[in-house]
Structure 1
Amino acid sequence: MFGCDPRVSDNWLPDRTTLPSLSRRTLLRSSAALAGVGLSVAAAGGAGAAPSATPVGFAHGVASGDPLPDRVIIWTRITPSAAAQPGSGVGEPVSLTWEIATDPSFGSVVRSGAVTVGPDTDHTAKVDVTGLRANTNYHYRFTARGGAVDGHESPVGRTRTAPAPDSDPERLRFGVVSCSNWEAGYFASYRHLAEREDLDAILHLGDYVYEYGRGEYGARNGSVRPHDPAHEIVSLADYRIRHAQYKTDPDLMSLHARLPFIATWDDHESADNSFDGGAENHNPATEGDWATRKANSTRAYFEWMPVRVTGSGTEAALYRRFRYGTLAEISMLDLRTYRDEQASAGAGWRTVDSPDRTVAGRAQMDWLTNGIVSSPARWKVVGNPVMIAPCVFPPLDQRTTAAVTEMVGVPDAGIPFNTDQWDGYSADRRRLFDAIASAGIDNTVFLTGDIHTSWACDLPVDAANYPAGATVGTEFVVPSVTSPNIDDMLQVPPRTATVAAEEAFKAVNRHVRYVELDSHGYGVFEVARSGAQMDWYYVTDPTDPRAAARHATSYRVADGSQRAQQVGAPLDPASHRPGR
């Protein structure tokens, strides 16, 4: 994978000296309906394998996130002893010094400080470093002071601040990912993104970790690598252990060390198909009350992820906004914490248009709507965990229908919505779309994960009147990094049973410009003054830790057009060099 293996070094510098340039289970209900000691994190078995020995020191790498023009969060976790493993609740407090510099050798340190970590935060450290220059690349590291790990240095991370609010960047470029299930494969998509030099940040749209026990939701032919702990995660210790396991993946560690993340959660960070009062994958009789489980998952997420949270306790909010000069404003949504329970089959389908139902919660909906209609930025980008484009499912062939019915009870003739998506909360969507249309706002792009498949859609005010009627924006949906999609579910070769379903879906939903139901991978998204573009890249095999990636397709929406058009070539990596 690399010219040298940084995973065996306790002082890995993830710059060009070591990283050379190189050229839901239920979630699938919408898509399936269409198709029928340092960094010793790799055992001899290869990339992504579990540690071969109990690690002490900085065994989970470093990360950064939530870049603003004058600040960025830096993160790490120290393991002070063999007993003080993630989720253990034991271990002595450790003082960590941190430094942030403009050069990887730390000859020009611009900010530094110290933080003490202990079992109360699972020995994770998260520092919101202020007083930085806008639009600047920085390098950062942590050093342990005292105890058995005295003098241990973390890997060196690279991060980047956002442009100044009054600046006018020519372009911005982001890696876009979602749905990375440890058991379903290796994270080659993260590796390919880490090898690029043209990205400003990574947008992670949810399902960063999965809650299932071993063997409950793996790859087509079983689990590629086993989850820890072995059971479904419920307690605070469980969630901490699971987050820690994911952060030993070398490709994820590499990506975190090279670029800041702007992340939100979907459902699997807590439990499948979660809502404000429970989850489909939560049984109070055996797993306790939902509020406790949700609090456990939230606490672990806030400890282990480089995210900036507003409020505290039960009032802590993950939805937040990022300005990138006058070019773009990014609104990251939380569509699980405040939503009403999903409508069910039968009579429940008729409730989806109730004005009393919400997917975002009233406060977040007001925040989102007001932010879009009042934003001074040219492009309004929404990090959107579940699909917002309206969907109508066509009738399906018998075999595919059987697979769908077995999962979610979709009737043979099809249904007009998937109630886990915005289709199940159409009054919220209508209010949002009406506000955008009434205010005459253009250049709104929703970036979405969740459904493990790839889509490019226009967002019509009235889907039945498309393409004649007005549109309020576009939506680009990226596939899963590893989580099973349609060919995996149906146990058929890729690009066989799904192709006809894709064409049938587009015929019924004319605002869907592109849909691909089989492939795993990632997106590269650019906003520029003249337009916004998404490139889809697919990996050859998610069960191969060294899988290659290929460009699949690209769609672009021109400034002011509100409609996506296919373009022939992907973005040129050489055309954008942040910080150069």
Structure 2
Amino acid sequence: MPHTHPRRNALRLGAFAGVALLAPALPASAAGAGDGPFRHGVASGDPLPDRVVLWTRVTPTEDSAPGSGAGPVAAVGYEVASDAGFRHVVRRGGVVTGPERDHTVKVDVTGLRPDRWYFYRFTFRGGHSPTGRTRTAPAHHAEVAGLRFGVVSCSSWVAGHFAAYRHLAERDDLDAVVHLGDYLYEDYVGTRHRTHEPPHEAVSLTDYRVRHAQYKTDPDLRALHAAYPWIITWDDHEWAENSWAGGANGHDEATEGPWRQRKAAALRAYREWMPVRLDGDRIHRRLRFGTLAELTMLDLRSYRSEQVDEGRVDDPARTMTGPEQMAFLREGLLNPEVRWKLVGNSVIFSPLLLPATPQAGAVAELVGPTINNDQWDGYRHERRELVALLAEHDVRDTVFLTGDVHSSWAFDVPVDEALYPLTGTVATELVVPSVTSDNIDELLGVPPRTASLALETALHGLNRHLRFVELDSHGYAVLEVGPERVRMDWWFLAERTDPGSAATLAKTAYVESGAQRIS
């Protein structure tokens, strides 16, 4: 069906006709940034019941370009109000920024009320930034009727335009946007429709700063940042392809220098440019939405062991998460105070076998040959431990939300995939398509919905716990969370290279509370 405005459908949304549908509108000028001092827009993120992170970047002089290390120190003010006209300002303050932090501004504004919409803006030399709109989380013990999140992943600038972001920005019924990694690309090997800045692979601090800045000149990205708070984790391309704790397959120390130096540069630029609440270098965290849901965002790159061949993936010494993060994840999954345990998970958790078909080579570029050793299939011991934890403690209503593979999937997570469905399931997994990055039809160089059809059939035959797969389309998903069920809608773009592309609701999946299965 064609994409229609959600407010027109409010009466048929039942339990979700709650506060999110009453979102106050942004001023018409909010998304634009122009060529003034706030040309990279505004953003917010990591909403808690009493606080939210606000972000912008000021360009005080023309020589203060991103990555330049030049320009003066600048005093920037901020205001948070309960109304779009800023007649009722509830928080205001000021910060100083300069070239040492690439003239970015990030403020963790406290003292806010839970479950509220707020408007915010920054001020510089008497002028105002575009207006942003954000929302705090409900109080931890509040009963919440429903939540709705936009869910996205894998947004390559060069592979196309960000029409998926535009469609989400045009909605007025979301609580937040969840980005599951590859927000930007340090490099891109694939179909190119736009040009990266800098025009080479990002390696240095200057490179990463310039790349971040370029992404935040996209009007649809700016609009979505201005419309809702974002909850983000990183995957590999924020650093280098197929990264792990001590390096990356996409990093050559002989020509690109020490990995530690490159990662520090990428992390510094990320900390400066993203509306994320980092604890030192730690990005894994939990965000709670009353008693209805808790979202655990994982970091599956910083602590993992190096990828190995298939014969060594069962080694119990290998880790995907590191011990501290695994303990953190286990604690969240065992929390009895919330119904839905949502896990923001950058690579596929479920077991996945690939068929031997002529098209499988293209899938292998995304998910590996036979298995994907870059996903949880390459770290089976830890996955078995998590599955056992969920089974032994009878943990209900765990949903993994996943990106990375540029395509759309839905899995029941089995106790034993070889015996599924006899041995039951412990969770479900919902995988979102790429915003723009190449998927199977582009990798094969064929029209969409042609060669991939046989491959999708073969995937279903090999993986009985796989409930849905679509390998060709780009777009986004919308996740609705209610007391009785979770619903995921996959929206597919007509054409990723068209900034005005239409979007179509292509698939809906449900997870009933207590069922541990997709319906």
**TM-score, normalization: structure 2?**
0.93
Q: Which amino acid in the other structure matches residue 133 of structure 1?
A: R
Q: In the alignment, which of 301, 318, 322 is matched to residue 287 of structure 2?
A: 322
Contact 1:204 1:262 in 2 (8 A): yes
1:152 Cα deviation (Å)? 2.5
1:278 and 2:247 equivalent?
A: yes
Distance 1:56 1:490 in 2: 43
1:365 and 2:326 equivalent?
A: yes
Pairing 1:303-322 to 2, within 5 Å after superposition = 303-310=272-279, 312=280, 316-322=281-287
Partner of 1:570: none
Contact 1:357 1:425 in 2 (8 A): yes
**1:409-446 Cα shifts (integer Å, max 9, x gaps):** 97xxx62x210000000111011111111111000000
Q: Which amino acid in the other structure matches residue 230 of structure 2?
A: F
Distance 1:208 1:404, change over 3 A: closer
1:466 Cα deviation (Å)? 0.7
Contact 1:86 1:244 in 2 (8 A): yes
**1:39-87 Cα shifts (integer Å, max 9, x gaps):** 23xxxxxxxxxxxxxx440010000000000000000000011111000
1:18 and 2:12 equivalent?
A: no
1:335 and 2:300 equivalent?
A: yes
**1:3-36 Cα shifts (integer Å, max 9, x gaps):** xxxxxxxxxxx9455289xxxxxxxxxxxxxxxx
Contact 1:487 1:498 in 2 (8 A): yes
Pairing 1:122-137 to 2, within 5 Å after superposition = 122-137=102-117
Partner of 2:195: 226
Q: Percent identity?
A: 55
Q: Which amino acid in the other structure matches residue 299 of structure 1?
A: R
Partner of 2:204: 235
Q: After TM superposition, what 4+ stretches of structure 1 lie above 6 angstroms from structure 2?
A: none
Contact 1:189 1:481 in 2 (8 A): yes
Distance 1:143 1:409, change over 3 A: closer
Distance 1:130 1:525, change over 3 A: same
Distance 1:151 1:321, change over 3 A: same
Partner of 2:317: 356
Distance 1:237 1:448 in 2: 30
**1:236-294 Cα shifts (integer Å, max 9, x gaps):** 11000000000000000000000000000000000010001111110001100000100
1:392 Cα deviation (Å)? 1.1
Contact 1:117 1:123 in 2 (8 A): yes
**1:205-262 Cα shifts (integer Å, max 9, x gaps):** 00000011xxx5242xxx2110000110010110000000000000000000000000
Partner of 1:39: 33
Distance 1:408 1:161 in 2: 36
Contact 2:406 2:474 in 1 (8 A): yes
Q: In the alignment, which of 347, 354, 363 is matched to residue 386 of structure 1?
A: 347
Distance 1:404 1:385, change over 3 A: closer
Partner of 1:111: 91
Pairing 1:399-478 to 2, within 5 Å after superposition = 400-401=359-360, 403=362, 415=370, 417-478=371-432
Distance 2:75 2:113 in 1: 27
Distance 1:116 1:217 in 2: 39
1:403 Cα deviation (Å)? 4.8
What RMSD, in angstroms, separates the aligned Cα atoms of the two structures? 1.6
Count of aligned pairs between the two proteins: 495
SS in 2 for 1:183: coil
Partner of 1:508: 462
Contact 1:183 1:217 in 2 (8 A): no
Q: In the alignment, which of 509, 520, 532 is matched to residue 474 of structure 2?
A: 520
Contact 2:177 2:231 in 1 (8 A): yes
1:267 and 2:236 equivalent?
A: yes
Distance 1:404 1:62, change over 3 A: closer
1:331 Cα deviation (Å)? 0.1
Q: In the alignment, which of 144, 150, 154 is matched to residue 179 of structure 1?
A: 154
Partner of 1:200: 175
Partner of 2:17: none
SS in 1 for 2:127: coil
Contact 2:46 2:277 in 1 (8 A): yes
**TM-score, normalization: structure 1?**
0.84
Distance 1:375 1:364, change over 3 A: farther
Partner of 2:8: none
SS in 1 for 2:488: strand
Partner of 1:170: 145
Contact 1:56 1:81 in 2 (8 A): no
SS in 2 for 1:500: helix
Partner of 1:217: 189
Q: Which amino acid in the other structure matches residue 363 of structure 1?
A: E
Distance 1:129 1:16 in 2: 20
Distance 1:264 1:62 in 2: 19
SS in 1 for 2:79: strand
